[in-house]
């Protein structure tokens, strides 16, 4: 069967494997984690995996061996492996945009052959990586100088969505590996405050802007880039000739880059077969490469590659992205789970969940299948979360005792980073919190246990923890560039598998278009009071009120 061929694909809800899962869910009934662990001493061993540097424990899930058998049967029936292989081969599996989906080619080693329309794309990937490396080395060594001959001290990435979230996240994660004499900032919001705060204490003579945009037509990015150019030229008291030393571009669109006034000699290319949210290991990661250096960047790519190979070759029952995806499908369908929390127990992963929000929600927030037919099952969950232990003092209450089941990923590392010095002593406490939360969420506290502590009867329901709140624990020795690559690829492929099972196109993002068009139409109404034909009464009144506030 050709898995991405509509004619051959049965709708998910008509598959016997889908029905078999429903039957199984009914049999499982209210069986909880206490019972599952009590009756199965080998559970933690059996329901855990080592992949590269990652250890994944998925034993605290409401599943049995039979559940996993039926879930992997579903993956088989929905053609996940065939679609995966088609993706790796460079076929145009993004059918609504008629594009190949080849972020995996970004981490292919030199010499591997991956073709799009008969052209091997791997040499071009390495050419760009080499150019990036040369540029990064020059900036790091102080050899790239600005208009006045001074070395660069601050790199400001201007981009949004996939052209911001990935590099900004990774910059935080790999801070301990970063050149500390350089400062890195990220501007994404069209709110002028973002650029203002990013540059207010900077010396234009020592500032380099990387304008990152796949299309180079994104209004937020172009608006900020124009303003940054104005700031630079004003600050230097120079003309257009100063732009070259302070602006480089990352894009697929050389024409627009050159129209903007950036010399295409200072442009780093990527390709339409790299989706925005899958792009930070392309030239979109240029600021990161400047920060950590080419060698560390390549280590990160090797980490991605390791997970790609695992995903491509491991059997479903031992395939980490596949298992995480299947568990998500299980809860979405049979436990009415609408959300998924990602809770890193690492300060360096503070932007990780924000990054995953785009990766997951822009990919799988779809309501029609690849053929445009409405789906009759839930697709992508709301992905959210912030680092532990902060979340514990905010929203964990709802995770533990709320009415909704929210599966969560707990991510932690055994070794704190070297440069923390004496602060490394706090690490055991941090990790004890991670393990304790997984334990409390899974096993809760029964009314009997609460009573046994002498709690007054009227407080017993309040102090009872129902448990059976599933978590996956992802542990690694330390947070290296390679481990980051492994983690990101793990989630990329998880999202892929879920999209394949739900039958949706995970690689388009039509849902972001309408708001962009309407904003463009509304702007003159706000600025000049132009009438917008057919505007609804609520939006019209809001525009009027806004203009009054502005004294217009």
Contacting residues toward ligand F6P, per CB under 6 A: 160-163, 213-215, 218, 221, 276-277, 362, 509, 512
Nearer to ligand F6P, 326 or 361 (CB): 361
Residue spans of beta strands (DSSP E) within 15-60: 48-51, 54-57
How near is the Cβ of 224 to ligand F6P at its closest, in Å? 11
Nearer to ligand F6P, 161 or 303 (CB): 161
Q: How far is residue 531 from each of residues 105, 522, 540, measured CA to CA in Å?
A: 49, 9, 9
How near is the Cβ of 145 to ligand F6P at its closest, in Å? 28
SS3 (DSSP) at 450: helix
Give residues with Cβ within 8 angstroms of 1, minimum separation 6. Answer: 8, 9, 79, 82
SS3 (DSSP) at 115: strand
Q: What is the DSSP letter of 468?
A: -
Nearer to ligand F6P, 282 or 346 (CB): 282
Nearer to ligand F6P, 162 or 467 (CB): 162
Strands 247-251 and 267-269 come out as parallel
| C-alpha dihedral (484, 174, 218, 224), degrees to nearest 10 | 170
Q: How many CA atoms lie within 13 A of 70 on its CB side?
A: 19
Distance CA 111, CA 283 (A): 19
Q: How many CA atoms lie within 13 A of 466 on its CB side?
A: 15
Nearer to ligand F6P, 245 or 276 (CB): 276
Distance CA 330, CA 530 (A): 51
Q: Answer yes or no: are the C-beta atoms of 507 and 97 closer than 8 Å.
A: yes
Nearer to ligand F6P, 510 or 546 (CB): 510
How near is the Cβ of 133 to ligand F6P at its closest, in Å? 22
Nearer to ligand F6P, 158 or 208 (CB): 158
- Please name the residue that has the structure tokens 């448990």: 467
How near is the Cβ of 513 to ligand F6P at its closest, in Å? 8
How near is the Cβ of 98 to ligand F6P at its closest, in Å? 17
How near is the Cβ of 279 to ligand F6P at its closest, in Å? 7
Which residues are marked as active site? 362, 393, 516
**DSSP, residue by residue, 490-550:** HHHHHHHHHHHHHT--TT--GGGHHHHHHHHHHHHHHHH----TT--HHHHHHHHHHHHHT
How near is the Cβ of 523 to ligand F6P at its closest, in Å? 17
Q: Answer yes or no: are the C-beta atoms of 166 and 358 closer than 8 Å.
A: no
């Amino acid at each position: 069967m050709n898995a991405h061929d509509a004619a051959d694909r049965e709708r998910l809800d008509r598959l016997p494997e889908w029905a078999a899962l429903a039957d199984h869910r009914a049999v499982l009934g209210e069986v909880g984690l206490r019972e599952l662990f009590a009756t199965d001493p080998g559970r933690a061993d059996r329901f855990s995996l080592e992949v590269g540097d990652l250890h994944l424990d998925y034993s605290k899930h409401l599943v049995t061996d039979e559940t996993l058998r039926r879930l992997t049967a579903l993956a088989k029936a929905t053609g996940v492996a065939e679609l995966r292989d088609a993706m790796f081969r460079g076929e145009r599996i993004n059918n609504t945009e008629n594009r190949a989906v080849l972020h995996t080619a970004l981490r292919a080693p030199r010499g591997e052959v991956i073709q799009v329309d008969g052209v091997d794309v791997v040499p071009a990937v390495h050419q760009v990586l080499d150019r990036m490396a040369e540029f990064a080395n020059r900036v790091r060594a102080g050899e790239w100088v600005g208009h006045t001959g001074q070395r660069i001290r601050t790199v400001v990435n201007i981009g949004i969505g996939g052209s911001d979230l990935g590099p900004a996240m990774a910059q935080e994660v790999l801070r301990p590996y970063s050149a500390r004499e350089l400062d890195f900032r990220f501007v994404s919001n069209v709110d002028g405050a973002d650029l203002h705060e990013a540059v207010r204490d900077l010396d234009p003579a020592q500032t380099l802007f990387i304008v990152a945009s796949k299309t180079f037509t994104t209004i937020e990015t172009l608006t900020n880039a124009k303003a940054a150019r104005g700031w630079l030229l004003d600050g230097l008291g120079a003309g257009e000739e100063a732009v070259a030393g302070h602006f480089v571009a990352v894009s697929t669109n050389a024409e627009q880059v050159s129209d903007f006034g950036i010399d295409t000699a200072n442009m780093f290319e990527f390709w339409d077969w790299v989706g925005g949210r899958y792009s930070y290991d392309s030239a979109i990661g240029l600021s990161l490469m400047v920060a950590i250096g080419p060698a560390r960047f390549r280590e990160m790519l090797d980490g991605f590659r390791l997970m790609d190979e695992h995903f491509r070759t491991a059997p479903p029952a031992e395939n980490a992205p596949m298992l995480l995806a299947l568990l998500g499908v299980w809860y979405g369908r049979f436990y009415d789970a609408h959300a998924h929390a990602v809770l890193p127990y690492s300060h360096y992963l503070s932007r990780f969940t924000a990054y995953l929000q785009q990766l997951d929600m822009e990919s799988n927030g779809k309501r029609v299948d690849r053929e445009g037919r409405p789906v009759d099952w839930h697709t992508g969950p709301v992905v959210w979360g912030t680092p532990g232990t902060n979340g514990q003092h905010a929203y964990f209450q709802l995770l533990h005792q709320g009415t909704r089941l929210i599966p969560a990923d707990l991510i932690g590392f055994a070794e704190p980073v070297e440069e923390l010095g004496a602060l490394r002593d706090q690490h055991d406490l941090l990790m004890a919190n991670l393990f304790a939360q997984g334990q409390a969420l899974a096993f809760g506290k029964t009314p009997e246990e609460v009573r046994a502590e002498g709690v007054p009867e009227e407080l017993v329901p309040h102090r009872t923890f129902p448990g059976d709140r599933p978590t996956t624990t992802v542990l690694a020795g330390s947070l290296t560039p390679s481990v980051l690559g492994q983690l990101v690829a793990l989630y990329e492929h998880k999202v892929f598998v879920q999209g394949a099972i739900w039958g949706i196109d995970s690689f388009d993002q039509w849902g972001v278009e309408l708001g962009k068009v309407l904003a463009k139409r509304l702007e003159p109404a706000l600025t000049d009071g132009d009438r917008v034909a057919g505007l609804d009464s609520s939006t019209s009144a809001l525009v009027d009120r806004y203009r009054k506030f502005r004294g217009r």
